[in-house]
Chains A and B, each alone.
Chain A
Amino acid sequence: MQKIAALMRQKAQELLSSGQVQQVAAWRKGQLAYDNAPAVFTSPEACADLVYDEFCPANLSKYLLAATKKKLKTAVFLKPCDTYGVNQLLKDNRVQREYVYAIGTPCQGMLDIKKIRAHGLKGITRITVSEGVVQVETVYGTQNLPQRDVLLDKCLQCKGNAYMIADTEIGEKLATPEPRGDAFAAVKRIEALPPEERFKFWQQELSKCIRCNACRDICPACSCEQCIFDNPAAPVAGKAFADPVEENMFHLIRAYHVAGRCVGCGECARVCPQGVKLGLLNLKFMKDINTFYGPYQAGSDATTPAPQVTFTQGDVEPSAAGQKGRS
């Protein structure tokens, strides 16, 4: 990964020095062993701080919204899964291609600090990864963990190492984590529950929400100029819950709104401080879309229209969702 980081720094410096781009979106080193932060670099000198390792999970594609608004040509480092988000933003016409310089960036799966902590590790001072083993040094001792055990959940649904959009690539592609079985297995388990239990499950999940809106704010499919939940005149404004129904509505409306545009990057679930199983709602929609309209992957290119925005005479009737949704 250090070699990749060096190549990235070099590439960022080249692009900025030559004036090919005005800014570069990448990651900057933090103070802890795992807290690299997304950052925008505007000068070749600043790129000395650019890092890349197993703690760069953030999908940077959303920052292209601001780049387009400011009309700044922006180079953006994209892991394979992140490239789907860029395509979706292009397809939704929220990001203009002329402002994007997409750089495919190899990835072997990102690590989840929460899963590392769940092994009882605290006081972490250093984390190194080598040949499938994560070594965690803490002020209380050192422990080795198998890498696969501490991969982010989203990496266990990895779509592979291909870039869906890339103007250039850094180094050679790496082997991405093997996806964990059937992506829709969890959805099927919930579909199989009796309606009362299903309702209870979602009620419990969604009532954990504290309405921080992080899921919406990181989502490459949530790109409205102004979100309806930020409208103070609307009774659904998201500052605090006046009624538990309100949180439920937030997540349901959001899931409907991104249906067919959700690229399945898993960022919503990653950023949720409450651990709400947000990806599940989106997966349910993906599964239904696949069932009713044939296999479809949002963000695999920037042009194919989503099934819901095209009409064909063979389309299922809306009522089919109620009947077939549980199949």
Chain B
Amino acid sequence: MFKIAKAKWPELWQALAREGQLYLPALVDGKTDFAPWQKDTKVDLLTAVTAKSLKQLFFAQVEPLMHFQTSGKKVAVTPQELPAQPTIAFGVRACDLAGFTILDKVFLKEPVDTFYRARRENCTLIGLACGFPEETCFCQTFNIDAASPAGDIQTWLVWDNLYWESRTGKGQQLTAKLAALLTEATAEDAKLVQAQQTKIRETLSKLPLGRLRFSPELAKHEQEVFNSKVWEKLSATCLSCCGCTYVCPTCHCYDVRDYAGKDGAVERFRCWDSCMNGDFTKMAHGNPRKGQLERFRQRYMHKLVYFPEDYEGTFACVGCGRCLRICPVNLNIVKVAKELEVDLHV
């Protein structure tokens, strides 16, 4: 393990930025979110939950797929080149890192999503333990350890020192390039990190959702869950905005659309879709999900039932709590799961 004192962090950001486009949590307009690093960026390593997840780093909100140039009856097609720029994400929390393993299951299985894979492979992920978890946090529900973030490198912020440990070959390669900035941590340092880890786990257990569990039985009762009477009650007040799906680190539905520009140029792009949208899965024959109830149900069936059914019991949720924070009417996956468990007696 290495360490680097606060005074040297600006040099660290600079050194990292030389190795690739650096993203880190930045305070802008009173809100902390991942942003490309620049010299005047206000880096915020204390806020545990950034407003949005980092999924857009690999799964962009808008991704051009190909370009057409039409001229009379002729169409010239130019494929979109795969992104090749190396990127580094610093300060990624355990929940968001776990979110990537969920997205991997979808995008890296055959047929592989080449855009996602290219961005994922080009990126070195540096995790940061959550010194100050928030009341909306419930990553421990999914056995995610906020005190030991996964990633290529994991780091801990204890007082004015950042502790640094490589976990993968990619992480070691990057660490080697930073040798001039990093000093070897001592046994005392290791104790400080361990003490912080214990403290983080203790804090999490004291938070309002500290003992929350989701029942694996939900995924075993697809029909009963689907037909539960709670959907009507819960969906009645959902506004059908897309906030929860856009900030969620595991929501991954997308749509493919064409954008007609000037002079016969057309761009085919994919963009995040949301089951909250009225035209979600709308097809030539109409929409199989007729209304608000059906679309609301889809979101939670996907996370609590279909995904665990398809991927060995894995819920498509990492407990980041962003849906708890963003919903204008305070609906969220915790409330839905709890209502379902009561209704199904599981």
**6 residue pairs bridging A and B, Cβ less than 8 Å apart:** A123-B134, A123-B203, A218-B328, A239-B257, A240-B62, A240-B257
Whose C-beta in chain A lies nearest to the C-beta of B239?
Answer: A217
Q: Are A122 and B257 in contact (CB under 8 A)?
A: no
Shortest Cβ distance from residue B160 to the other chain A in the assembled complex, whole angstroms: 18
Contact of B208 among A31, A37, A63, A140 (CB under 8 A): A31
Interface of A is mostly: loop
User: Could you say which residues of chain B place their CB within 8 Å of the CB of A226?
Assistant: 278
B326 close to A (CB within 8 Å)? yes
Question: What residues of A have a CB within 8 angstroms of the CB of B267 in the complex?
Answer: 242
In the assembled complex, which residues on chain A have CB atoms less than 8 Å from the CB atom of B233? 39-40
Closest-CB distance, B275 to chain A (whole angstroms): 12
**Which of B12-20, B242-250, B294-302 is the contact stretch?**
B242-250
Q: Which of A39, A62, A239 contacts B271 (CB 8 A)?
A: A239
B207 & A123 in contact (Cβ 8 Å cutoff)? yes
The answer to whether A273 has its CB under 8 Å from any CB of chain B is: yes
A216: chain B residues within 8 A (beta carbon): 241
Contacts of B282 in A (CB 8 A): 232
Query: With A139-B203, A140-B132 as given contacts, are A58 and B236 in contact (CB-CB < 8 Å)?
Result: no
Known contacts A217-B240, A242-B259; decide if A212 and B246 are in contact (CB<8 Å). yes
Find chain B residues with CB under 8 A from A211 CB.
Answer: 242
CB within 8 Å for A243 and B246 given contacts A58-B328, A122-B48, A232-B282: no
A217 touches B241 (CB 8 A): yes
Q: Does A275 contact B (CB under 8 A)?
A: yes
Instruction: State which of B107-115, B150-158, B330-338 sits at the interface with chain A.
Output: B330-338
Whether A240 lies near B61 (C-beta < 8 A) is yes
Q: Chain A's nearest CB lies how many Å from the CB of B277?
A: 6
- The dominant DSSP class at the B interface is loop
A273 to B33, CA, bound (A): 12
Known: A30-B335, A214-B243, A239-B271. A123 touches B330 (CB 8 A): no
B63 nearest in chain A by CB position: A240
**Does B169 reach chain A (CB closer than 8 Å)?**
no
Q: Is B269 an interface residue (CB 8 A)?
A: yes
Q: Among the interface residues B29, B135, B326, which one has the most CB atoms of the partner chain A within 10 A?
A: B135
CB <8 Å contact, B330 and A35: yes
Chain A neighbourhood of B241, CB < 8 A:
212-214, 216-218, 271
A325 at the interface (CB under 8 A from B): no
Instruction: Report the nearest B residue to A204, measured CB to CB.
Output: B29
Q: Give the distance in Å from the alpha carbon of A212 to the alpha carbon of B247 in the complex.
A: 10
Q: Which residues of A contact B259 (CB under 8 A)?
A: 235, 242-243
A31: chain B residues within 8 A (beta carbon): 208-209, 334-335, 338
Interface size class of A (residues with CB under 8 A): 35 or more
Quick check: is A66 within 8 A (CB to CB) of the other chain? yes
* A38 at interface by CB-CB < 8 Å: yes
- What A residues does B334 contact at CB under 8 A? 31
Question: How far, in whole Å, are A152 and B278 apart by their CA atoms in the complex?
Answer: 30
Question: Which residues of A does B touch, CB under 8 Å?
Answer: 30-33, 35-40, 58, 62-63, 66, 118, 122-125, 138-140, 208, 210-214, 216-218, 226, 230, 232, 235, 237-243, 267, 270-271, 273-275
The residue among B31, B48, B233, B241 with the most chain A CB atoms within 10 A of its own CB is B241
* Docked complex: B295-322 residues within 8 A CB-CB of A: none
| Closest partner residue, chain A, to B274 (CB atom) | A239
- Complex alpha-carbon distance, A144 and B132, angstroms: 20
Interface membership of B237, Cβ < 8 A: yes
The one of B29, B134, B269 that contacts A122, using a Cβ cutoff of 8 Å? B134
Is there contact, CB below 8 Å, between B135 and A33?
yes
Of all chain B residues, the one with the shortest Cβ separation from A42 is B233
Please give, as numbers and ranges, the residues of chain B lying within 8 Å of A239 by CB-CB distance: 255, 257, 271-274, 277
The docked-state distance in angstroms from the alpha carbon of A30 to that of B267 is 45
B4 at the interface (CB under 8 A from A): no
How far, in whole Å, are A40 and B62 apart by their CA atoms in the complex?
37
Give complex CA distance A281, B246 in Å: 25
A63 surroundings in chain B (CB, below 8 A): 236-237
- From known contacts A122-B48, A139-B207, infer whether A38 and B255 are also in contact, taking CB-CB under 8 Å: no
Q: A35-B330, A122-B134, A239-B277 are in contact. Are A66 and B30 (CB under 8 A)?
A: no
